[in-house]
Structure 1
Amino acid sequence: MSEITLKFRSIWISDLHLGTSGCQTAYLLDFLKHCDADHLYLVGDIIDGWALKRSWFWQQSHNDVIQKILRKARKGTKVTYIPGNHDEGARQFLGLMFGEIIIEDEVIHTMANGKRFLVLHGDRFDGVVQCAKWLAIVGDRLYTITLKLNHWFNRARARMGLGYWSLSQFLKHKVKSAVSFVSNFETAVAAEAKALGLDGVICGHIHKAEMREIDGVLYCNDGDWVESLTALVELQNGELRILTWQKFFIDQQAELIDLYAPNSPLFEGMTA
């Protein structure tokens, strides 16, 4: 395995969904092993309390993820945990610190270039979660079924030497109502940042990694570790990039000349 370590100023990851069979712990552990940062933001849905209430699923690899994050905090990384809707129970501990990890509802992060970004999970901009939680839970169960189908489908792909492919993500990108929901969500979250006079917003929740300007505000979504296998990272000069870890995981043995270059296979997007 490659011993390359990528050093960033800040990392944002969300929607790990530990406690579910869909969590991609192998990719996630590899990412945590190879990436370091001064700031690590856990942007919600880290542990899936909804799923654990239905049935208990917790493997050693899930413990290993928690331990790696705690170890980073002990070694000096400033770790901020922002709960989401699936781990909303943690919101009763806002402002407290556990194992060097601070729990906050939302924060403002200042980039190295001085730009200020709102950081939040984003579920309060989801009308279904806020107004009809029962419907969100039904949708979550259907999503879980899709992920189980996805698991067996990818086992077959692995036998053929093919990489990970997300059936659930494909369906979300093809269903018109899902595409409309994502667009409305992005617009609402960006509007919140603009109302606060900020340069941008960083969130998770919808499992769709994205970075684009909306009405003068930079909207950034760090994706997830069930479908996208992505994170948002800040370089030392304040540039933001979406990092797709599957590409590095598969190609670790290759001799990558410049991992930080704009055209590196690690990254999907960038801004100054």
Structure 2
Amino acid sequence: MDVVTSLSGSNLIDFSDFASSQPVIPERNIAGRQQFRTIWISDVHLGTRGCNAEMLIDFLDHVDSETLYLVGDIIDGWRLKKKFYWPAAHNDVVWRLLKRAKRGTRVVYIPGNHDEVFRQFCGLDFGGVEIRRQALHDTADGRRLLVLHGDEFDAITLAHRWLAHVGDAAYNLLMALNRGLNAYRRFFDMPYWSLSKHAKAKVKKSVEFISNYEEVVAQAAGHRGADGVVCGHIHTAEFRDIAGVEYFNDGDWVESCTALVEHADGRMELLHWADEIAARPAVDQPAAMMAA
């Protein structure tokens, strides 16, 4: 069953049938996969041209975990309503995620604002995937982390939805420039570099918004009795202490291509996958990305 047809139609995706199909980009049997207790990823934005699906496929083929949290905006329903875009690599990402659940990984999906259509199914399980509005995660060393997408703390998204859509259009223009720049960099064998991430770091208002957002989210987690919080939404990977509450943002797979992971002893780490790929020998570069 086609995932996009299922998303826009009246029926849910048949997870079992989809996971039993075969991907266009074959799953790589990587020797010595990195093993983690927990992985968090968010803001993949499948259904948009900015999604780095091939890089995420490479990530999923190199790592394993007991639990996988999908922390919102996995599928971009906003863009799909405006214009159809769904290449084979986006199906292959979904195939890999569902295959994890089928193989015994606990997969928890927390819909965000771009895939809010799935929020009506919170509390239900489909094909081994738990759909939840938020979750509490206990680390191996005894900390309790609140896991949520984070758009509920974004005043623009909540109070001025029309402005959020305007910002979304401007963001997509910036990402088009980002794709052109990185096509040029690939031609000259240069590593991936995020133009939008660089631009946000240089704009004072953006920096202020991100800082305020992080403080509000951390404060809310503390009020709920959590030791820390894991979120996404703002596409800015971060890991810091805010007034005694640990704030983790797992980033995204549009700009920074990052994931948050928990090691077996409870230690947390942000993985920057473009750097991981760049550090490999040329013979081990992802074939799909080399051909891009």
What TM-score do you get using the length of structure 2 for normalisation? Answer: 0.85
CA distance, structure 1, for counterparts of residue 232 and residue 137 of structure 2: 15
CA distance, structure 2, for counterparts of residue 143 and residue 159 of structure 1: 25
Superposition deviation, residue 163 in structure 1: 0.8
1:49 to 77, 85, 97: 77
One-letter identity of the residue aligned with 2:234? I
Counterpart secondary structure, 2:174: helix
Counterpart secondary structure, 2:165: helix
Matched with 2:53 is 25
Matched with 2:192 is 164
Q: Does 1:199 align with 2:227?
A: yes
Q: Does 1:10 align with 2:38?
A: yes
Matched with 1:214 is 242
Q: Residues 92-103 of structure 1 correspond to what in structure 2 (within 5 A)?
A: 92-103=120-131
Could you report, residue by residue, the CA deviation over 1:26-66 in whole angstroms, capped at 9, with x for unpaired residues? 11001001110000000000000011111000000000000
Matched with 1:178 is 206
Deviates more, 1:166-175 or 1:109-118: 166-175
Superposed CA RMSD in Å reads 1.1
Matched with 1:151 is 179
Matched with 1:240 is 268
Superposition deviation, residue 248 in structure 1: 1.8
One-letter identity of the residue aligned with 1:118? L
Superposition deviation, residue 144 in structure 1: 0.3
Number of aligned residue pairs: give it: 254
CA distance, structure 2, for counterparts of residue 143 and residue 19 of structure 1: 15
Q: Which runs of 4+ in 1 moved over 6 A?
A: none
Counterpart secondary structure, 2:255: coil
Superposition deviation, residue 111 in structure 1: 0.2
Q: Does 1:224 align with 2:267?
A: no
Matched with 2:87 is 59
Counterpart secondary structure, 2:119: helix
CA distance, structure 1, for counterparts of residue 210 and residue 275 of structure 2: 25
Matched with 1:86 is 114
Counterpart secondary structure, 1:134: helix
Matched with 2:281 is 253
Could you report, residue by residue, the CA deviation over 1:89-131 in whole angstroms, capped at 9, with x for unpaired residues? 1000000111110000001000001100000000000000000
Q: Does 1:127 align with 2:159?
A: no
Structure 2 residue ranges without an equivalent (≥5): 1-27, 283-292
Structure 1 residue ranges without an equivalent (≥5): 255-272
Counterpart secondary structure, 1:161: coil
CA distance, structure 2, for counterparts of residue 48 and residue 183 of structure 1: 25
Superposition deviation, residue 82 in structure 1: 0.2
Matched with 1:258 is none
Superposition deviation, residue 250 in structure 1: 2.5
CA distance, structure 2, for counterparts of residue 144 and residue 107 of structure 1: 30
One-letter identity of the residue aligned with 1:48? D
Counterpart secondary structure, 1:164: coil
CA distance, structure 2, for counterparts of residue 150 and residue 247 of structure 1: 17
CA distance, structure 2, for counterparts of residue 224 and residue 142 of structure 1: 18
CA distance, structure 1, for counterparts of residue 40 and residue 78 of structure 2: 22
One-letter identity of the residue aligned with 1:199? D
Counterpart secondary structure, 1:224: coil
Counterpart secondary structure, 1:112: coil
CA distance, structure 2, for counterparts of residue 30 and residue 208 of structure 1: 21
Could you report, residue by residue, the CA deviation over 1:1-43 in whole angstroms, capped at 9, with x for unpaired residues? 8633000000000000000011001110010011100000000
Counterpart secondary structure, 1:130: helix
Superposition deviation, residue 159 in structure 1: 1.1
